[in-house]
Amino acid sequence: MPRWTIRLGFVTLSNRVFDERSYGYLQAIPQMSEMPKNGATPVRVRFAPSPTGYLHVGGARTALFNWLFARHQRGAMILRIEDTDAERNKPELVQGIIDGLHWLGVNWDEGPFYQSQRTPLYQQAGRKLLANGSAFLCYCPAERYAGGDHAIEAQDDQPKPAGPRRIVRCTCRDGKPSTPGTRPAVRFRVPAGGTTKFFDAVFGEREFSNDEMEDFVLLRSGKSHDEFGQSMYQLGVVVDDIDMRITHVIRGADHISNTPKQVLLYRALDAQPPVFAHVPLILGPDKSRLSKRHGATDVNMYRTEGFLPEAFRNFLALLGWSPGGDAEFLRTNELLEKFSLEGVSRTNAVFDRPKLEWFNTQYLQKLPIEDLLPQVEAELKRANLWKNEWAGGAGHQWFSKTVDLLRPRIRLLPDFAAWSRAFFSDNFEIDPAAKAKFWKDPKIPDLLSKLAEKLAAIPPSDWSHDACDHALRALAEAETVKAGLLINATRVAIVGQAVAPPLFDTMVVLGRDRVVTRLRHSMSASTSS
RNA sequence: GGCGCUAUGGUGCAACGGUUAGCACGUAGCCCUUUCAAGGCUAAAAUACGGGUUCGAUUCCCGUUAGCGCUACCA
């Protein structure tokens, strides 16, 4: 990607080429459709989070849609940090947002840009709007505008607006400063009467009455009466989207009411509005907007819990979008291939955790084993169970076979280290509940002891699923007990749990010596309880 | 309150004027079985309500209701 610089007014910015680290297997993004034809405007989209919190699943979904759209169209993705509110902004949260995007596999071509560093650009735009009459200096205290209807009451020097209008129009707007001398803010002068239309790729043509829009603030008041402060949201977004040549604004439906204001700003700034695409919101199980009280809303918590990013992405993509048929299990390349704005729905969607978990188990089982292995390796390293001998050669084959044996029963990545501990370490506990369930019969210690000796007699070269099967069943027959009794008891002895993969496969993977040792050991464990 | 958006089983989606309203998650049962999963089969479960338009409405229009969003010198 070429480096570039952009010069606007007196500020010059350059992009930082982003280091596209790979996260497991996620970086494999196939080549999509051809480049736009000559003359066609290349698609440019952006994700613009505000660092007032972590990366919320709603934001993540918006980022994902932008990314899918950009990559599908062979366009550009831009990351912009909207940190114009010095009060609420927490710079340290930016890294978490970036980490979350990486984990999701969402990358970008330009940015991150920080709005807090682009204030001169917004102030320049503010001056232009003031000069062309689209904006005015407002000296009113903020409270006069806050609260809509009540503010009208407070305006004793103004006749009550007639008709349906409930919007404050102060005298500053007409060049009669209400309280001159105080530090003014810059407000947009919303046209009287008429409507503002825009096209939304999801909701269609939309039209809003101008009389319903307040004279929103563009620039906060500054430190002194002849100085402006930082930009407000509406101005910053529009100036940046123009500056960054954004062609499609894909964002949450909570912004639909802001859009006509922004369209007015585009016009006042002599710019062409982009195509808008508002995506429905994500709700909690009670249908209210998804929030902390519904559980985890921070994307990074799902990473910590051990969800596979590709499963999470598949789940998220289907929240408010569908390729049109019944297909659900869509790997990333299929998502990229099929994604289009036409498939985006207009109804809010409930975040259904059980379905997310189902996706995760599906991916755990269906992913090519080589795609899963690095993620299991990372998990074992975290738990201090990793051995370098599993990195290559025969060790790798063993590792691959073992993970493959384990994976149908795994729900989350950490299960490989916890639930499957006995497969990767000799240092494991025997679950008391498993003992209680399968070691009830008083004959068990004797049976396990006999089995140990029988297995020990099998030459290592003959150690196999069938050899174990025959040895165990022969013993069961000789002792006139059901094979199931012995199978269940043996499982507890060699992996410490009531639930594990099929016994003889497990024995093969563990190897003769380990199985024999564990059976012998289990005798003391069974008597001591 | 005002303005706006939305409305298919409990949940996510499909059906873009004509289907016995489909798929998946979840739930229940059965099969498989060596524990537990997975897998297979089956079942219960939906077009919010009321008016239109139409030969025919889940689908188009209006109203009601409900949910959500916006209504800040937050984003």
Which pLDDT tens digit goes with each residue over A379-404? Answer: 999 999 999 999 999 999 999 999 99
Mean pLDDT of the region A427-451:
93
Contacts 24+ apart (CB under 8 A), A146-155: A148/A214
Residue A161 clears pLDDT 50, i.e. is over it: no
Q: What is the pLDDT of residue A39?
A: 56
Whether A435 is catalytic:
no
What's the Cα-to-Cα distance from A312 to each of A44, A252, A304, rounded to whole Å? 25, 19, 12
Q: What is the pLDDT of residue A225?
A: 79
Comparison of pLDDT for A238 and A30, the residue scoring more: A238
Shortest CA to C1' contact from A50: nucleotide:
B75
How long is the CA A286 to C1' B1 vector, in angstroms? 25
Q: What is the pLDDT of residue A148?
A: 46
Residue A527 clears pLDDT 80, i.e. is over it: no
Residue A247 clears pLDDT 80, i.e. is over it: yes
Lowest mean pLDDT among A147-151, A202-206, A471-475: A147-151
Nearest residue (CA) to C1' of B24: A328
Output the CA angle A79-A67-A5, nearest 5 degrees. 35
What's the Cα-to-Cα distance from A374 to each of A25, A149, A490, rounded to whole Å? 8, 59, 31
Shortest CA to C1' contact from A49: nucleotide:
B75
Q: Is the CB of A176 under 7 A from strand B?
A: no
Lowest mean pLDDT among A12-26, A27-41, A190-204, A509-523: A12-26
Q: What is the pLDDT of residue A155?
A: 43
Q: What is the pLDDT of residue A395?
A: 97
Comparison of pLDDT for A246 and A29, the residue scoring more: A246
How long is the CA A354 to C1' B4 vector, in angstroms? 33
Q: Is the CB of A321 under 7 A from strand B?
A: yes
- DSSP-based three-state secondary structure for A140: coil
Q: What is the pLDDT of residue A179?
A: 81
pLDDT tens, residue by residue, A86-102: 999 999 999 999 999 99
Sorting pLDDT into bands at 50, 70 and 90, what band is A525? Answer: low
pLDDT tens, residue by residue, A315-360: 999 999 999 999 999 999 999 999 999 999 999 999 999 999 999 9
Q: What is the pLDDT of residue A299?
A: 97
Q: What is the pLDDT of residue A346?
A: 97
> What are the structure tokens assigned to A488, written together?
């269940």
Q: Is the CB of A98 under 7 A from strand B?
A: no
**Spatial CA neighbour of A25 closest among A317, A332, A312:** A332
- DSSP-based three-state secondary structure for A28: coil
**Spatial CA neighbour of A519 closest among A497, A498, A489, A499:** A489
Instruction: Region of A140 please: left (phi>0), alpha (psi -120 to 50) or beta.
Output: beta
Residue type, A106: V
Q: What is the pLDDT of residue A432?
A: 93
Q: What is the pLDDT of residue A127?
A: 96
> What are the structure tokens assigned to A368, written together?
């090519």
Catalytic residue (choose from A176, A292, A366, A437): A292
Query: Could you tell me how far CA A156 lies from the centroid of its own chain?
Result: 50
Q: Is the CB of A350 under 7 A from strand B?
A: yes
pLDDT tens, residue by residue, A251-281: 999 999 999 999 999 999 999 999 999 999 9
Whose structure tokens read 């070691």? A439
Q: Is the CB of A466 under 7 A from strand B?
A: no
How long is the CA A348 to C1' B67 vector, in angstroms? 10
Sorting pLDDT into bands at 50, 70 and 90, what band is A502? Answer: very high
Rounded distance, CA A317 to CA A167, Å? 39
Mean pLDDT of the region A443-463:
95
Sorting pLDDT into bands at 50, 70 and 90, what band is A147? Answer: low
Mean pLDDT of the region A150-170:
50
**Spatial CA neighbour of A416 closest among A364, A339, A471, A480:** A364
A188, with CB counted inside 10 A (0-12, 13-18, 19+), is buried
Q: What is the mean pLDDT of chain A?
A: 88
Rounded distance, CA A57 to CA A49, Å? 12
Q: What is the pLDDT of residue A156?
A: 38
Residue A219 clears pLDDT 70, i.e. is over it: yes
Mean pLDDT of the region A164-170:
70
pLDDT tens, residue by residue, A30-78: 222 333 445 567 999 999 999 999 999 999 999 999 999 999 999 999 9
Residue A413 clears pLDDT 50, i.e. is over it: yes
Q: What is the pLDDT of residue A180?
A: 75
DSSP helix, strand, coil percent of chain A (3-state; round to 5): 45, 15, 40
Shortest CA to C1' contact from A142: nucleotide:
B73
Q: Is the CB of A404 under 7 A from strand B?
A: no
ipTM above 0.85, yes or no: yes
